[in-house]
């Protein structure tokens, strides 16, 4: 799907390496299977140390006459995950190289800049399906993600995404972190919560996965919200992947808005928002609300991973008290972006100066039976029309081209997705 020419070249190289690895070595006492392992490096170690791994792999596979270190590293880091995983069996050193955190970061950064993938959830009655869409591949660009058999996700409540990892909670309140590109997954033990006190009627939930650069740690933020007479209160827990522990934070006077499905009637309350948070400016962002006297006041809730504090970010003034629209937060042009859907009208807003309400600017409006599903890095919309077809819409010249003419179903909101080697 990506870098076809480079991939073909590396596959040929891979074949040569495997063939040559089987030949006798006259000037070396080490075979491929006996090669010295080099311990993994931390992400912060210098790039020169990563070259030691490549030197070792060249020594063991006779690559010294083929490519210099820098070129080999450059080429491999530009390959899709599926292709790179095939190279793990070349030698122990190649395996160590591909597992190395510094190499994983290089690969992620490259694909983050050259990415055409969108992560989509099944909409309406579909509660178990996730998809990846490559909007440069036409009708061949939609792929359903298959759950590992151990996960057995039969009813997905919510999902959050970060750096190629997907965090999923199912109806049994089992939490998973899953990398669909490498097929690796990890089950997370949930904190103790009295679910009997959190009924379907008055409980809203938020789930977010985020990377903390200060501690090089992946963290999960889990929010339980309940309505208490004329106020809201939410319980907040945070999970650290490095120490495998949950920690309780101070409760907050807000609730997270989301599109809730009733499992008995299969009816949706479509006046809320997507519960998936948006990563921006070192924080997770949800659409939430608080009670001011007898009015419900909508805000954007931003959880800063560094300070572990929630802050309010103001919505456009027209939407503070709007109860008839569905809101979704995204990122566009390194700015916070807001989708607002109501009836047959969808508006896209951009916050040009973060935290300043007056900087909200309406970019454009979509009318009719075209429902936005995601936004690309250059500002084009992926929309789904009333017939179900997925289209790519350019709001600048108002041109629309078909992507998937006969998709299997209608979709919920999506976000950009980057394939990665990041372990769960």
CA distance 135 to 118: 8
DSSP 8-state secondary structure symbol assigned to residue 65: T
Query: Of 112, 132, 151, which marks where a domain is finished?
Result: 112
327 or 18, which is more confident: 327
Percent of the chain with pLDDT over 90: 14
pLDDT in tens, 216-233: 889 999 888 776 666 778
| Nearest to 21, CA basis, from 32, 10, 12, 5 | 32
Together in a domain, 126 and 101: no
| Tokens linked to 293 | 């006297």
| Pairing assessment for the beta strands 175-179 and 184-188 based on DSSP bridges | antiparallel
- Whether residue 423 is contained in a domain is answered as no
DSSP 8-state secondary structure symbol assigned to residue 273: B
CA distance 66 to 72: 9
| Nearest to 281, CA basis, from 334, 238, 350 | 334
Together in a domain, 135 and 209: yes
Q: Which of 121-130, 253-262, 267-276, 366-375 has the lowest mean pLDDT?
A: 267-276
- Entry pTM: 0.77
The reported pLDDT for the residue numbered 246 is 92
pLDDT in tens, 294-339: 567 788 999 999 899 999 999 988 776 666 677 888 888 889 999 8
262 or 383, which is more confident: 383
The reported pLDDT for the residue numbered 272 is 45
- Whether residue 422 is contained in a domain is answered as no
Together in a domain, 38 and 13: yes
The reported pLDDT for the residue numbered 26 is 40
Together in a domain, 238 and 250: yes
DSSP 8-state secondary structure symbol assigned to residue 10: H
CA distance 86 to 107: 15
- Give the mean pLDDT of the chain: 74
Together in a domain, 181 and 292: yes
At which residue do the structure tokens 């985020």 appear? 210
Query: Of 112, 138, 159, which marks where a domain is finished?
Result: 112
| Enclosing domain of residue 13 | 4-112
Query: Of 86, 112, 138, which marks where a domain is finished?
Result: 112
Confidence of residue 170 (pLDDT cuts 50, 70, 90): confident
Together in a domain, 229 and 318: yes
The winner for highest mean pLDDT among 1-10, 73-82, 175-184, 291-300 is 175-184
At which residue do the structure tokens 């299997």 appear? 408
Domain count across the chain: 2
Together in a domain, 95 and 208: no
CA distance 105 to 112: 10
Is the pLDDT at 175 greater than 80, yes or no? Answer: yes
Cβ–Cβ under 8 Å, residues 172 and 184:
no
Chain centroid, CA 187 distance in Å: 17
């Amino acid at each position: 799907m990506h870098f076809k020419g480079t991939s073909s070249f590396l596959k040929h190289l891979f074949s040569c390496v495997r063939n040559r690895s089987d030949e006798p070595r006259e000037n070396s006492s080490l075979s491929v299977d006996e090669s010295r392992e080099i311990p993994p490096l931390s992400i912060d170690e210098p790039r020169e140390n990563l070259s030691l791994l490549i030197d070792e792999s060249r020594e063991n596979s006779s690559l010294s006459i083929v490519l210099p270190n820098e070129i080999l590293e450059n080429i491999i880091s530009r390959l899709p995950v599926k292709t790179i995983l095939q190279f793990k069996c070349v030698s122990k050193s190649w395996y160590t190289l591909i597992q190395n955190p510094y190499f994983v970061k290089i690969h992620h950064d490259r694909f983050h800049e050259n990415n055409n993938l969108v992560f989509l959830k099944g909409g309406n009655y579909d509660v178990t399906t996730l998809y990846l869409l490559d909007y440069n591949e036409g009708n061949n660009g939609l792929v359903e993600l298959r759950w590992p058999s151990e996960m057995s996700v039969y009813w997905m409540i919510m999902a959050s995404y970060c750096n190629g990892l997907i965090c999923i909670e199912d109806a049994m309140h089992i939490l998973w972190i899953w990398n669909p590109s490498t097929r690796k997954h990890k089950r997370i033990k949930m904190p103790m919560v009295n679910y009997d006190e959190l009924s379907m009627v008055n409980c809203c939930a938020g789930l977010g996965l985020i990377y903390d650069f200060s501690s090089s740690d992946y963290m999960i933020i889990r929010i339980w919200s309940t309505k208490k007479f004329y106020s809201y209160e939410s319980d907040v827990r945070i999970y650290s992947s490095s120490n495998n522990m949950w920690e309780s934070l101070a409760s907050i006077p807000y609730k997270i808005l989301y599109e809730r499905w009733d499992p008995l009637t299969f009816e949706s309350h479509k006046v809320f928002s997507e519960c998936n948070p948006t990563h921006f400016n070192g924080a997770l962002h949800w659409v939430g609300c608080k009670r001011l006297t007898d009015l419900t006041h909508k805000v954007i809730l931003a959880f800063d991973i560094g300070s572990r504090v929630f802050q309010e970010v103001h919505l456009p003034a027209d939407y503070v008290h709007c109860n008839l629209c569905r809101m979704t937060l995204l990122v566009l042009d390194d700015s916070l972006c807001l989708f607002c859907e109501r009836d047959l009208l969808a508006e896209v807003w951009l916050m040009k100066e973060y935290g300043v309400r007056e900087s909200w600017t309406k970019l454009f409006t979509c009318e009719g039976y075209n429902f936005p599903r995601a936004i690309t890095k250059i500002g084009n919309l992926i929309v789904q029309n009333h017939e179900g077809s997925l289209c790519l819409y350019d709001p600048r010249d108002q041109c629309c081209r078909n992507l998937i003419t006969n998709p299997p179903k209608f979709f919920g909101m999506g976000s950009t997705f980057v394939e990665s080697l990041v372990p769960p």
